[in-house]
Amino acid sequence: MKQRKLLMIPGPIEFTPEVMASMSLPTTSHVAPNFIEVFGQAIERLRTVFRSPSGQPFVVAGSGTLAMDMAAANLVEPGDSALVVNTGYFSDRFGAILARYGSEVTHVRAPSIGAVPSLEDVEKALKSRSFKIMTITHVDTSTAVRTDVKSLAALGRAHGTLVIVDGVCSVAGEELAQDDWSIDLALTASQKALGVPPGLAVLVAGLRAIERFKARRSPVQNYYADWTEWLPIMRAYEERKPSYFGTPPVNLIWSLNVSLGQIVEEGMAARVTRHRRLSKAFKEAAAAMGFRQVPTGQEHAADTLTALYYPEGVDATILGRIGQFGVIVAGGLHPDIKARYFRVGHMGAVNDADILTVVGAIESGLATTSARTTSGTGLAACARSLYGGPT
């Protein structure tokens, strides 16, 4: 029997067997010809995944927070004004990082938790003064709120602002077209929809971001994150030449290339459609079981995860019960509502069976509480959404 539970949190996620197998290959030198080839290929494939033929990828050992840190360290100079389109916990984090590098930060906040700031409010802020940088959290993992990156980025560009997108919970799961949408820098981390164990910070910088970096008046205030060091390394790997600044996490990069190969083979459009279909099935099942989502409208609810308020008579102890039925889901994260909701991740290699299993485990968990039990209505709604049938 398999001694494991299904991991359905919003990162780390379940990885494919091929990705896991590649983690256990013998570690090579970081300048071994076969590793140089793998790293070079991974860099090229990232352009396809971010839909940024003109972009410069960076892959560095670290988590998503390092990717945010690297963006701010290289693109912010003391006194630069920054606008944060704020949809929750991770938008707050970007504000704090920008401030650490001397930025004057203004937040445009959503009117309530689970809502999105309106385009009008963002435009009003952009008109109020000139901002050097604007950050957008594509999917805030604390609220499962997805922003309209395409429209927001267009607004930012129209006002001459450099647009940075935190795509940690969106890249390779939600639709994102970096070049077509005029995004200057997008970033993510390996453990989410990219489908690789935690440990890689991944960024793709557009031409304007690289120009802004090259025009800096002051040195980058972070030694490890400095693109002055990393740019030649990324270019060398792509040209299949040996180079060194900091030792790359060889096994993780090997896995990244395997996962990117699988993602590119599936195709970005098909991948986004799969995430949308599975998210819809899970959300319809959740509604049938009596759950209300944290996002205040379906049009801004993410497809990579779902955030659900506990119904009357249910609290966080249900997470342990869901675990007893074989599935790990995540508790709340947004400090203001932490004890009132939980989160289910459904991104990456997720499939129909995973969705049916998590719905079954939640439904079984609910049956052990004093809440109204739903005896199969969640699973029925899920199967109907996935396969059609009587409504």
Strands 327-328 and 6-7: parallel
Which of residues 28, 41, 48, 65 is near ligand PMP by CB under 6 A?
65
- Closer residue to ligand PMP (CB): 56 or 91: 91
Residues 6+ apart with CB under 8 A from 320: none
Q: Is 305 in the site for ligand PMP (CB under 6 A)?
A: no
**End-to-end CA separation in angstroms for the chain:** 36
For residue 133, CA distances in Å to 58, 99, 157, 355, 383 come to 20, 12, 10, 38, 45
- Closer residue to ligand PMP (CB): 19 or 382: 19
Cα distance between residue 47 and residue 333, in whole Å: 31
Report the DSSP beta bridge partners of residue 84: 107, 135
Unique residue bearing structure tokens 């984090």: 93
Closest distance to ligand PMP from the beta carbon of 188 (Å): 8
- Residue nearest ligand PMP, CB atom distance: 64
Q: Is 342 in the site for ligand PMP (CB under 6 A)?
A: no
Supply the DSSP string of 189-221, one letter for each residue: ETTSTT---S-EEEEEE-HHHHHHHHT-SS--S
Contacts with ligand PMP in 140-179 (CB under 6 A)? 140-141, 166, 168-169
Closest CA to 161 of 81, 57, 66, 251: 81
Closest distance to ligand PMP from the beta carbon of 333 (Å): 8
Unique residue bearing structure tokens 């995860």: 305
Cα distance between residue 71 and residue 225, in whole Å: 9
- Closer residue to ligand PMP (CB): 191 or 374: 191
Helix, strand, coil % over all residues of the chain, rounded to 5: 45, 15, 40
Which of residues 11, 248, 295, 348 is near ligand PMP by CB under 6 A?
11
Q: Is 137 in the site for ligand PMP (CB under 6 A)?
A: yes
Cα distance between residue 4 and residue 105, in whole Å: 44
Which of residues 12, 57, 64, 95 is near ligand PMP by CB under 6 A?
64
Q: Is 90 in the site for ligand PMP (CB under 6 A)?
A: yes
Cα distance between residue 193 and residue 83, in whole Å: 27
Q: Give the count of residues interacting with ligand PMP (CB under 6 A).
A: 12
Closest distance to ligand PMP from the beta carbon of 4 (Å): 22
- Closer residue to ligand PMP (CB): 135 or 364: 135
- Closer residue to ligand PMP (CB): 107 or 159: 107
Q: Is 228 in the site for ligand PMP (CB under 6 A)?
A: no
Q: Which stretch binds ligand PMP (CB under 6 A): 28-36, 58-66, 113-121, 243-251?
A: 58-66
Closest distance to ligand PMP from the beta carbon of 90 (Å): 4
Q: Is 63 in the site for ligand PMP (CB under 6 A)?
A: yes
> What is the rounded (10 degree) CA torsion for 328, 60, 238, 185?
80
Which of residues 189, 285, 349, 350 is near ligand PMP by CB under 6 A?
189
- Closer residue to ligand PMP (CB): 271 or 343: 343
- Positions that interact with ligand PMP (CB under 6 A): 11, 63-65, 90, 137, 140-141, 166, 168-169, 189
